[in-house]
Amino acid sequence: MAVYGKKMPDITISGPPPVNAPPQLRPERLRLNLSGIDGLATYPPGATFGPRTLKDFEFVWIIDGQVRWECNGVEHPAPPGTIILSRPGTREMYRWDPQRQTRHAYFHFTAKLAGAGLPPLDQWPTIRQMPDDDVARPLFRHIVWLRRSGRPDAVPLAENAARQLLLAFVCDACQQPQEGGPEYSEPVQRALRFAVTHLERHRAPPTLGELAFAAAVTPGHLCRLFRAEFGCGPVQALRLARIDRAAALLARTNLPVKEIAGRHGFESPFHFSRCFKAVYGTGPREFRRRTALGLAQPASQVLSLRRVSRAFPGAGALDVITRRVEK
């Protein structure tokens, strides 16, 4: 009943408790072999599959449909975004969505685990609901595409991607950084989202009052939240993020310095240059010259603000920043 397609949509779900990899993990010793049983399948509403007993490993990614997966007598909900790892000897059954069609991707493989340092098989997770921006689903799409591509190097490339998927799944390493991120308090996330929109629309940073209004808290409370989460106030934090974003354009585009300064809300190239030099110890033109020559970029003089630059699309050079830059 396999129906093959070209595109699998991104789906977002939170994850279960982690299974931590031991410190002696040696992924280069993990050997995977794809069996050739793989694809993208679509089932009509109310269909079932199984029960069956697996003879090898199988990864299944639920793309569409609310699925119930029974594993060794225990039933698990498997909504869109779920990835299932069935092991050899697993007795399983699938009950596809009773209301609409179900779509899922899958592939089978065998594995040689000796010396890889992974936990015992009985400690492996069997089902995970993927978080935002996970690495697992892009790897899954890549594996299925490779198997359909007809490339002469498809098998080793797919097996290498499958090894990475297995390691990420077992070791709970599927998460990638997110803009804003759930680690920030909700008022801070609201302020960051508003700042991004305001800068793109007006080419000017928002005031503290505007940030506080968008965050639905008082200016004083917003300052306390930013200092607790980033080590400096919101105006300083956002200025640093703007400089970080500008540094990426200096390094990777031919845009004039004046244009880059204007895009990031600096009132003049002189103002931008002064703020930039306070962070990097050199002006933007020298920064660009060194980058063009392939020289090491000047090190930022700011430390330990937690990833506030991630809130800005296109942020580049700074990821951990904290020092106050005076206006």
If you count them, how many residues does the chain have? Answer: 327
The values of phi and psi at residue 49, to 5°, are -145, 125
* CATH tag, 186-311: 1.10.10.60
Q: Where are the domains of the chain?
A: 27-170, 186-311
Token reading at 271 = 């103002």
- β-partners of residue 60 are 84, 106
**Structure confidence at residue 315 (pLDDT):** 39
Sheet of 74-78, strands arranged across: 48-53, 91-95, 67-71, 74-78
The Cα–Cα gap between 49 and 97 comes to 12
Contacts of 201 (CB under 8 A, 6+ apart): none
* CATH tag, 27-170: 2.60.120.280
Could you give the C-alpha distances from 1 to 43, 71, 223, 308, in angstroms and in order?
Answer: 7, 22, 57, 47
Q: Write a three-state SS string for 227-284.
A: HHHHCCCHHHHHHHHHHHHHHHHHHHCCCCHHHHHHHCCCCCHHHHHHHHHHHHCCCH
Cβ 219 vs Cβ 209: under 8 Å: yes
The Cα–Cα gap between 44 and 65 comes to 10
For the chain of 327 residues, list the mean pLDDT of each consecutive stretch of 10. 40 42 75 87 87 93 93 92 94 92 91 90 91 88 89 93 94 69 74 85 90 92 88 86 82 84 89 89 88 66 42 38 32
The values of phi and psi at residue 111, to 5°, are -145, 140
The Cα–Cα gap between 91 and 77 comes to 16
Token reading at 167 = 């390691």
The DSSP string of 52-104 is EE-SSEEEEEEEES-EEEEETTEEEEE-TTEEEEE-TT-EEEEE--SSS-EEE
**Greatest C-alpha distance within the chain:** 71
Could you give the C-alpha distances from 159 to 30, 31, 110, in angstroms and in order?
Answer: 11, 9, 10
- Burial group, residue 318, by CB count within 10 angstroms (0-12, 13-18, 19+): buried
**Structure confidence at residue 138 (pLDDT):** 93
**Structure confidence at residue 307 (pLDDT):** 46
**Structure confidence at residue 94 (pLDDT):** 93
Query: Cα 213 to chain center, whole Å?
Result: 29
In eight-state DSSP terms, residue 301 is S
Query: Cα 19 to chain center, whole Å?
Result: 19
The Cα–Cα gap between 90 and 259 comes to 60
The Cα–Cα gap between 102 and 88 comes to 24
**Structure confidence at residue 249 (pLDDT):** 79
Residue 73, CB-side half-sphere exposure with 13 Å CA sphere: 0
Could you give the C-alpha distances from 315 to 21, 165, 240, 243, 294, in angstroms and in order?
Answer: 31, 27, 11, 9, 20
